[in-house]
A and B are shown apart, each in its own frame.
Chain A
Amino acid sequence: MNPVIPPLDPAPLPAPVWLFYLLLVVTFLLHVLAMNLLLGGGLIAAIAGSRGRANVPHQRRLAEEIARALPTVMAATITLGVAPLLFIQVLYGRFFYVSSILLAVPWICVIGLLMVAYAGHYFMASSPTVRRERFLWVAWGAALLVAAVGFVYVNNLTLMQAPARFRAMYIAERSGLRLNLAEPTLIPRYLHMLVGALAVSGLGTIVLGRRFLAGEDRPFGLWMVRMGRNWFTSATLVQILVGIWFLFSQPSDIRNALLGGDPIRAALLFGGIFLALAAVFLITVRPDSLKVVIGAAGSLVLAVASMILVRQWIQDHWVRGLSGLDRAAVHVQWDVLALFVLCFAGAIGTIAWMVRRYVLEGKVPEELAAMRGGSAPRR
């Protein structure tokens, strides 16, 4: 039986498919990088917090340093997530809306979970007098909530590409009280994301730790860089096993294509794996060199990018033929598109200017700080 999917929207697409595709992939890459730091960073902070309670030196401080960054990382994750959410609706709304409705209750709960986790991050980043002993509980709570959000996302995005199951699932349960647990790739895909997040956050920990290498905090900085390296390398090595599981959970046609049947996709997959291993090699050799860290980070970003292209190809493989995008009418209003490009460039410029000022303007004069009612700067 043919899968039941909604028809193409009668309105034409307001830009060529390739442009939406490009924007989807680029903004999704940025979102994934921020999300990885959020999910992995939250987990590393919670684990470090637990070990800190057992009086392992530096662990508690590591948890606090990461915690201070989490509100900003959450803001970036959400902001960067809105754009791919827009573009996926334009391209694949007919699948995405249906899968969202099938999982409606867990899907809408994502909003509440994020809000609580976000508030938790601000609490974790607040002063020690405010948070006291509750830090650890909140750290674990927020980390697990973010992990739960990721699980719901994986459920929706796997279901979205299985339209053959849509109708039967809907007829059986219409309130959206379910998950896509029958999906064979669900668990390996989720673990793949989780372990990847820990790896990226390991590298993030190195970057964060490098700020302490100068001055009296150097022992802590060195320790933090080493800790980040351990997280990064061990998670990447575990990822090899998880990745193999994920690959072999795929249907045979996709698996065969990725193992060489489709040279371009196979090159993307193995290129990505190579880049990730190259980053591990670089970090293992010289974790304390700035150039090496930048090189490793660049290599890792490229690895994530190639994985996202593979992921997008798999998604397309399932829905492209059914999506009818190839025959969708396109009507471009170039002036609106040009305005978007202008605003996009303006946004990057404005944000860059603000961040630059923030980095450059270190400390305000003490009398002004006093007038503003502030304490001495912490950073």
Chain B
Amino acid sequence: MEYPFWEVPLLGGGMVIALISIAHVFVSHFAVGGGLFLALTERKAQREGNRELYAYMKGHARFFVLLTLVFGAVSGVGIWFAIALAHPQGTSLLIHNFVWGWAIEWCFFAIEIAAALVYYYGWERLSPKTHLTVGWIYFAAAYMSLVVINGILSFMLTPGKWLQSGNFWDGVVNPSYLPSLLLRTGVALSLTGLYALLTASMIRHDGARGRQVQYASKWTLAGFAIMPPAGLWFLLTVPPGARSIAFGGAPAVTIFLALSLAISLFILVFTWLTAYRRPARFTPALAALFLVVGFAVTATSEWVREAMRKPYIVYGTMYSNGVRPGDVAAISKEGYLPRLRWAEVEDVKQPRAGEEIFRFQCGSCHTIDGYNAIRPLIQGWRESFISAQVHHLDELKGFMPPFAGTDEERQALAHYLAGFWGYPAESAAMQKPEASR
């Protein structure tokens, strides 16, 4: 509303955020859990004087650093870029409230990057004790960055007492903070195991490969031991509206949740059956398949978590389309178009009014023909029916915000949408949709 709307054909801006974020989450959780893996496994190698394990660790660390620094760190910055493009108002809200949270996280991020580089280049340079200490510093910094960021992420779903106080700590240490942290810790451990299965499966020596594969599988299994109770706890702390979206309120979300659980179970069972029970026969191809499946479960779970927050970008504070709940009454009285600074039209009587209302108020979630397309959703709907639906949007669909605008603006939107299926205009005041494009 207050910012220009970035139009992304077919995908929509939200999907751009999702694509970058999911890929980032898949690697950044490895960056956290993998830090513990480096430290504990190197300690094991040192205590046992195990050359085989050392040789493996060196290769694994190289893979780890390349992936987490090149892809993990840069895609993290990519999320910044994407959210500012697709949701500038929400980003501004978050940055004004939590800039010090991010600044604190940046301090840990800087330690993390420096430690990763010193660890990577230090194999042939640092004493075993120092090298291991650097590994622990890496893990501590990486985990602390999760500790901070998790506060801001969980805040968006459960802002808790912050809604009244506006206090930083009330926002960060919110109702879903701890279960979310625990859940992400479980994800970090299990993904670490999956990545380690890949590097371990490439060891040439049969005996060593078997031992490392089984060792890696224990990380995945440990992660899965944490996730179910943490997930349940998480679901108990989220707002009832979010819970109902996950459990039937929005069928697509429920299907994805079920899918996420089913794929997780698949990974758990097959990790146990293959990598843990018969580690010697574990192959890189199988490890790659596990990673692909792991990516699928990351994608579905993150999608469900985001979808549960609908219709908000920050629960109770800002809807997904940038409108604040407290402003809806005033906008419905005074009009939406006069508040739009970037629309081509200023008056509801102008031809493209409906199109501009759709773009700015609906476009952050709906495309016309691509992701979450509006055209098939309104197939067969006449203008009057669309208008009635829009009038009661939040009551009919709990995951959608109320329409913010005057009756005339709602009519203009309905007229524009009805034009997709070529229905004759019902409101005489409006021009034909063809003329309005």
Contact = CB atoms under 8 A, between A and B. Distances in A.
Q: Is B truly associated with A?
A: yes
9 contacts: A9-B93, A11-B166, A75-B117, A82-B80, A89-B92, A89-B95, A93-B88, A357-B126, A362-B125
SS class, residues of chain A in contact with chain B: helix
A101 B85 contact: yes
B70 A372 contact: no
B104 A339 contact: yes
Contacts of A78: 73-74, 77, 113
Given A11-B96, A100-B85, A340-B100, A175 B111 contact: no
Interface of B: 2-9, 16, 20, 49, 51, 54-55, 58, 66, 69-71, 73-75, 77-78, 80-82, 84-85, 88-89, 91-93, 95-97, 99-104, 106-111, 113-115, 117-118, 121-128, 130, 134, 137, 141, 166-169, 341-342, 344
A339 B81 contact: no
A170 B72 CA distance: 32
A376 B123 CA distance: 11
Contact of B118 (A5, A97, A355): A355
B107 A100 contact: no
Interface residues of A, number: 82
B4 A89 contact: no
Contacts of B114: 350-351, 354-355
A114 B74 contact: yes
A89 B7 CA distance: 22
A66 to B, nearest CB: 16
Interface of A: 4-7, 9, 11-15, 23, 71-72, 75, 78-79, 81-83, 85-87, 89-90, 93-94, 96-98, 100-102, 104, 107-108, 110-111, 114-115, 118-119, 122, 166-167, 170-171, 174-176, 331, 333, 335-337, 339-340, 343-344, 346-347, 350-351, 354-355, 357-358, 361-364, 368-379
A86 B126 contact: no
Contact of A175 (B7, B51, B96): B7
Contact of B70 (A83, A122, A364): A122
Given A11-B97, A351-B110, A362-B125, A102 B117 contact: no
Contacts of A339: 100, 104
Contact of A93 (B6, B95, B122): B95
Nearest to B115: A354
A28 B429 CA distance: 55
A361 B380 CA distance: 74
Contacts of B104: 336, 339-340, 343
A375 B20 contact: no
Nearest to B140: A350
Contacts of B88: 6, 93, 97-98, 101
A176 B6 contact: yes
A372 B58 contact: yes
B77 A111 contact: yes
Nearest to B16: A108
B342 A7 contact: no
B126 A364 contact: yes
A343 B107 contact: yes
A97 B167 contact: no
Contacts of A377: 124-125
Contacts of B111: 346-347, 350-351
A350 B124 contact: no
Q: Is the interface of B mostly helix, strand, loop or mixed?
A: helix
Contacts of B74: 78, 111, 114-115, 118
B126 A361 contact: yes
Nearest to B344: A171
B168 A333 contact: yes
A115 B75 CA distance: 8
A374 B58 contact: yes
Nearest to A377: B124
Contact of B85 (A90, A104, A371): A104
Contacts of A171: 342, 344
B250 to A, nearest CB: 28
Contact of A347 (B16, B77, B108): B108
A361 B20 CA distance: 39
A337 B168 CA distance: 11
Given A79-B109, A347-B111, A97 B92 contact: yes
A346 B81 contact: no
Most buried by A among B82, B101, B114: B114
A102 B107 contact: no
B85 A358 contact: no
A373 B125 contact: no
A111 B106 contact: no
A104 B78 CA distance: 12
B249 to A, nearest CB: 30
A354 to B, nearest CB: 5
A3 to B, nearest CB: 10
A364 B124 contact: yes
B276 to A, nearest CB: 26
A159 to B, nearest CB: 12
B124 A374 contact: yes
A7 B327 CA distance: 15
Given A354-B115, A358-B121, A9 B128 contact: no
Given A101-B88, A371-B54, A375-B124, A6 B341 contact: yes
A340 B104 CA distance: 5
Given A369-B124, A371-B49, A373-B55, A75 B91 contact: no
B109 A89 contact: no
Contacts of B3: 6, 97-98, 101
B117 to A, nearest CB: 6
Given A97-B3, A357-B134, A370-B51, 17 more contacts: A6-B2, A6-B3, A11-B96, A15-B100, A75-B73, A81-B77, A86-B102, A107-B81, A107-B85, A122-B70, A340-B103, A350-B114, A362-B125, A363-B124, A364-B125, A376-B124, A377-B125
Given A119-B70, A174-B5, A90 B126 contact: no
A174 B4 contact: yes
B70 A175 contact: no
Nearest to B9: A175
Contact of B54 (A75, A118, A373, A375): A373
A363 B88 CA distance: 50
Please give me the 8 A-B residue pairs with the lowest Cβ-Cβ distance, nearest first: A373-B55, A11-B96, A97-B88, A111-B78, A343-B107, A347-B107, A6-B2, A174-B7
